[in-house]
Structure 1
């Protein structure tokens, strides 16, 4: 372990570089999000430290880090540990647990966490919901193996209305379309009211990884195509209400010649408190070696979207060949022109650049 006393504090973001915590260890918060609680930022996500090829381990729980400046992160440990003893548990390390999202419910006084779990053997995608009294846990399962609205639920985002606290659940109805479903008052289930968006005939065109943000009363979703861990062009859409209808505005990465969203998939978008108009996209670079050769990345993208490959779904076995323990992060600010949201590449940037 590196000597923490010799580590210098970060004063900027350096997208794509290996990001370490205040102890000098690689940060493990993949598919992550940020929640701001009592003046402290908490970054949480999938702990992939043991998810090496051949290990059979998809995750090792949900890990959380805290910070007061968004640059330097203290490891706060596993807020949701894996369940090593029960292979049927959604928290077992061989279950395909992804993309935790947490919201605080002021009505119940609970922190509510939703996770997506794709079963190892049945290839179904379902949701599991947990609750805790503190952002750092301990979390208890309150609703497991949920099929919201009777559907297979893939990548998702949770949204809370800033005025009335109502909750919304954007999720991919796997390989069909995107769903916006109203949450119950306690955020632990859906009410049954929902709307459908972005119907596409099949992968890789079906949208996944919805990342929501709200700006000037408008509702935005940035999504990606369905190509497994391999990156593809993002797509931004806007609506006047949570339930749409959404209008597709286009690729927010127009300067990226590789058409891979700068080799990332966006997992969530964070509005920085105290900043006038700063929204940060939190992206995962699941396959860092693709950046070694941009032509290789472009070729992979073109292969996924070639007509003869329409309808291709990346097999689960292929996921196991990716060393996600070495995945990196790309955090970039959003730039706005009118209603369009753009994401520009920056080798380095800081919060001080924004009002």
Structure 2
């Protein structure tokens, strides 16, 4: 009897050790970035946060992105016949948390789809893209902006939602045409003076608007600029370095990759100078077969930034991957070099 008990105890102990070792391994499985490779969360599942952005708050990074469903289809709507409009049902916005930017824990969906009301912006038949979140110190609210659209991309609006915590359930407020113009691909930027800006493709994607938000980050102040008219730039990603602003964007070729471009300015609402392709290395002319989504400053690392790209798989969108690459500078010139593997 004692031998049976000892054997059972030993088996349970080994099982516990194995499970603990597995959890520790999963939670610390990455020590570097491997652009374009499958990226698993701490539960061992592929990260599902496409077209996303990252917020740093109180020692933790939060990655928000489009939660893609596992069924991709080409939209039969005649209004999108001019391009390959592959899509999945809108699955809401996902959130992942990390201390080191390598290993990410799935926090769940922070903006849930509305499966009941077909007229809702959040209904699965609609489009939810490029969510970005910033924190408002005055209101103590986390504010999310995202591209909200109809399945034929004719609604072309900007939606806004708020929450009291970074990984809680966001309350959807509604959508709008900011400054009276349509809005598609977008990003958010919060400056050192706590002012926040929405950058979005408008006028049929021909022009990029930069709009100052109100102090609560929920509306547009009425101050905005029109940039790069008739240049057809989308997928904006912006950051600040040495008191200059850098804006990375892509051309408009649907899901297919194209050459990135960057621009510089002394202020967000100032004059932007369009420059060249910052990418270097193999497939740089196709932006490594990916598209920009966000520019991330690494907390506590001076002059350290990560250029975040999505490597879209248009016929299987849930299988799209992530290309995160280091940003470097040659004087004021922006350079993004390809690396098979790297760490900051």
**Is TM (by shorter chain) over 0.5?**
yes
Task: Choose the corresponding residue for 1:44, options 64, 75, 83.
Answer: 64
Task: Choose the corresponding residue for 1:234, options 260, 263, 271.
Answer: 260
Q: Does structure 2 conserve the Cα–Cα contact (< 8 Å) formed by 1:58 and 1:97?
A: no
TM-score, length basis structure 1: 0.84
1:334 corresponds in structure 2 to 327
CA distance in 1, matches of 2:246, 2:310: 20
CA distance in 1, matches of 2:132, 2:324: 18
Q: Does structure 1 conserve the Cα–Cα contact (< 8 Å) formed by 2:66 and 2:129?
A: yes
TM-score, length basis structure 2: 0.86
CA distance in 1, matches of 2:73, 2:284: 26
Q: Does structure 2 conserve the Cα–Cα contact (< 8 Å) formed by 1:50 and 1:59?
A: no
Report 1:25-40 matches (<5 A).
25-40=45-60
Q: Does structure 2 conserve the Cα–Cα contact (< 8 Å) formed by 1:50 and 1:60?
A: no
How many residue pairs are counted as aligned between the two chains? 310
2:14 corresponds in structure 1 to none
1:123 pairs with 2:126:
no
Tell me which structure has the larger Cα radius of gyration.
2
Report 1:90-129 matches (<5 A).
90-121=121-152, 123-129=154-160
Report 1:310-325 matches (<5 A).
322-325=315-318
Q: Does structure 2 conserve the Cα–Cα contact (< 8 Å) formed by 1:28 and 1:49?
A: no
1:185 corresponds in structure 2 to 215
Relative to structure 1, is the Cα distance of residues 48 and 122 closer, same or farther in structure 2, using a 3 angstrom cutoff? closer
1:22 pairs with 2:51:
no
Report 1:200-279 matches (<5 A).
200=230, 205-257=231-283, 259-279=285-305
Range with greater deviation from structure 2 (174-183 or 114-123): 114-123
Structure 1, residues 240-267: CA drift from partner, whole Å, max 9, x if none? Answer: 1111211112001143446210011010
Structure 1, residues 156-175: CA drift from partner, whole Å, max 9, x if none? Answer: 1111111x211111111132
CA distance in 2, matches of 1:257, 1:41: 30
Structure 2 portions without partners, runs of 5+: 1-18, 76-86
In angstroms, what is the RMSD of aligned CA positions?
Answer: 1.7
CA distance in 2, matches of 1:50, 1:188: 32
Relative to structure 1, is the Cα distance of residues 121 and 157 closer, same or farther in structure 2, using a 3 angstrom cutoff? closer
